[in-house]
Amino acid sequence: MTVNQRPRFGERLRQLRLARDWTQEELAARSGLHPTYVGGIERGERNVSLDNIVKLAHALGEHPSALFSDFAK
């Protein structure tokens, strides 16, 4: 049985965004994604593609692996 990891990813994204004191709208603008899509990611409702993970990481000034730092090996 696979556990849904989307909420964990979304929480990590929210942590990184809030550490910069950004709104979802600001992260969306910086990453080229729609604000409602970013909100859906943070709520664990979206299954994010690799391309969008890279966009989000670059917008945050992070390596994509930083979005997975809370995941166990």
Give the whole-angstrom CA distance, residue 63 versus residue 4.
23
Residue 73 falls inside a structural domain: no
Whole-model pTM: value is: 0.92
Q: Are 68 and 50 a contacting pair, CB within 8 Å?
A: no
CATH number, domain at 41?
1.10.260.40
CA distance 41 to 48: 7
Q: Residue 14 falls within a domain, yes or no? A: yes
- 3 pLDDT band, cuts 50/70/90, is confident
Q: Is residue 29 part of a domain?
A: yes
> In the structure encoding, which two tokens stand for residue 2, read together?
């696979």
pLDDT, tens digit (0-9, with 9 covering 90-100), for 16-28 = 999 999 999 999 9
Is residue 23 included in any domain, yes or no? yes
Q: Residue 38 — φ and ψ, nearest 5°?
A: -60, -45
Task: Quote the CA–CA distance of 23 and 73 in Å, as a whole number.
Answer: 30
On whether residue 1 sits in a domain, the answer given is: no
Task: Look at the chain and report how many structural domains it folds into.
Answer: 1
**61 is in which domain, residue-wise?**
6-68
**Region 20-44 average pLDDT:** 98
Residue 36 counted as domain residue = yes
Q: What is the pLDDT of residue 19?
A: 98
- For 43, the token pair is 């709520």
The predicted-structure confidence for 51-64, as pLDDT tens digits, reads as follows 999 999 999 999 99
